[in-house]
Amino acid sequence: MAISTDSGYVLVTGGTGFIGSHTVLVLITQGFRVVVVDNLSNSCEEPLRRIEKLAGLSEPVPFHKVDLGDRDALRDVFRRYPIASVVHFAALKAVGESVQKPLAYYRNNVAGTLNLMDVMTEFAVRNIVFSSSATVYEAVYEGHPLRETNPLGCTSPYGRTKLYMENIIKDAVDAEAGWNAIMLRYFNPTGAHESGTMGEDPQQIPNNLMPYVSQVAIGKLESVHVFGTDYNTRDGTGVRDYIHVMDLAEAHVIALRRLAENNGYEIFNLGSGTGQTVLEMIHAMSEACGRVIPYTLDPRRPGDIDTILCDPQKATEVLGFTVRRDLKQMCADLWRWQQSNPNGYSS
C-alpha cells in the first residue's frame, strides 16, 4: 500500500520513548495519522501531552499501552485502526543490562518483533521502518567511517538482538512479495526538541555520555567520568558521531515515504559523518549552559573502541537526507530541555 498522509495510520511502537516521541511529533506535523503503542517500561505518557501542545491538536494522540509480547492486544490495535505502515522503535536498549539479562533482551526485542511481524502479516501490513544501530558493525576502527556494507559483528546481547531483528525482517521480505522494509542504523542520538519541552528522560543513572553530561550540568550528578584518555584520537578520548534527535526523527519520515516506492529491503546509516571526542562534547555542553562541567579522567570502559564514525553517503544520495542541526544546536537544545525539566517528564 502506498504511504502517504492520507493512506492510513502509521503505527509507532515505542512511541513514548526518546526517539519515538520526537518522530511522532514530526509525523503529526507533516500530516500523518499516528497510533502509538508502548508498554511504558522505559517511558511515560507525558510526551504525548507535550506533542499535542506543540502540534496544536484538539484531541489526544491515539495511544494503547501494549506490550509487544501480547499478541492479542496488538491484534486489537490493528483491528481498530486502518494501519498502513509501522515504525518500530520498541526495544530494551541498555548494553550493560543486556549482558546481565540476555534472555530478557532476546524475549523483549526479538520475540516482540516476531509478534509484531506476525500480526502485520495477518493484517496484510507489509511496510516497516526499523530502529537499528551502529552497534551491529564489527567493533574495529580501520580509519574509515562505517558504510552499510562494512562487516557486521556484535559484542553484546543487545547488539545481537538488533542484528537478529534485522535478519528476521530481511528473511520475511525475501520470503513474500509485497514487503518493504528500511533498517535505519543510528549512530549516537542526542539533543532534544528545540522548544525544550521534549527530550530524553532516563529512568536511571544514564549510561550514555550526553544525558550524563547534562545531569552533571544541572547538578543532579557530581562529575562526568571520562572513560579512557589513551585512545588513538586527537585528545585521547573516544570519538563518536552524534546526531540531533530531530534530524533522526525527520529521517524516519523520509524513510516512511520511501517505503511507497517498493524497494524491498534497504539499510541506511544515520549520522553526520563527523566525530567529536568526549572532551569536545563536555566543552560544547559547558558553553551551551554557561558553566564549567566538572569531569574526572577515568580508565577505559570495557568494550569501547577509539572511534565510531558514520559514512552518511548512502542516506544522502538515496534518501536525500543530511543532518541540519550542528553540535552547538544539539547542546543548546539538550540544555534547554534539561534546565526546564530537571526531573524529566515528572518535573
Annotated catalytic residues are 158
- CA pair distance 206, 201, nearest whole angstrom: 9
Task: Give the footprint of ligand WQD on residues 5-64 (CB under 6 A).
Answer: none
Four-CA torsion 227, 229, 233, 239, nearest 10 degrees: 20
**Counting contacts by CB under 6 A, is residue 164 touching ligand WQD?**
no
Q: Work out whether strand 276-277 and strand 239-240 pair parallel, antiparallel, or are unpaired.
A: antiparallel
Binding residues for ligand NAD (CB under 6 A): 14, 16-20, 38-43, 67-69, 89-93, 108, 112, 131, 133, 186, 189, 208
Return the residue matching grid coordinates 567511517. 145
Residue 146 is classified by DSSP as B
From the list ligand NAD, ligand WQD, none, which binds 275 (C-beta under 5 to 8 Å, kind-based)? none
Residue 197 or 215 having the CB closest to ligand WQD: 215
Q: What distances in angstroms separate CA 157 from CA 113, 154, 160, 266, 284, one per listed residue?
A: 16, 8, 5, 24, 32
Determine if 301 is a binding residue for ligand WQD (CB under 6 A).
Answer: yes
CA 166 to chain centre: 15
Q: Which residues pair with 146 in a beta bridge?
A: 310
Least distance from ligand NAD to the Cβ atom of residue 108, Å: 5
What is the nearest approach in angstroms of ligand WQD to the Cβ of residue 212?
4
Answer for which of 225, 283, 291, 314 binds ligand WQD (CB under 6 A) is: 225
> Which residues fall within 8 angstroms of residue 15, CB to CB, at 6 or more apart?
21, 23, 24, 34, 36, 37, 38, 63, 87, 89
Q: Which of 45, 52, 304, 326 binds ligand WQD (CB under 6 A)?
A: 304
With CB cut-offs between 5 and 8 Å by kind, which of ligand NAD, ligand WQD, none does residue 254 bind?
Answer: none
- Residue 292 near residue 264 (C-beta atoms within 8 A): no
Site for ligand WQD in 184-223 (CB under 6 A): 188, 207-209, 212
Q: Cβ of residue 196: shortest distance to ligand NAD, in angstroms?
A: 18
Extended strands (E) in 75-137 = 83-88, 127-133
The residue at minimum Cβ distance from ligand WQD is 238
| Shortest Å, Cβ 244 to ligand NAD | 12
Q: Which does 92 bind (CB under 5 to 8 A by kind): ligand NAD, ligand WQD, none?
A: ligand NAD
The answer to whether 326 touches 253, Cβ cutoff 8 Å, is no
Contact between 123 and ligand WQD per CB under 6 A: no
Which of 43, 85, 127, 135 lies at the binding interface for ligand WQD (CB under 6 A)? 135
Task: Report strand pairing: 242-244 vs 188-190.
Answer: parallel
Contact between 265 and ligand WQD per CB under 6 A: no
Residue 308 interacts with ligand WQD (CB under 6 A)? yes
Helix, strand, coil shares, percent, the chain, to 5: 40, 20, 40
Binding residues for ligand WQD, rule: CB under 6 A, are: 93, 95, 133, 135, 188, 207-209, 212, 225-228, 238, 240, 278, 301, 304, 308
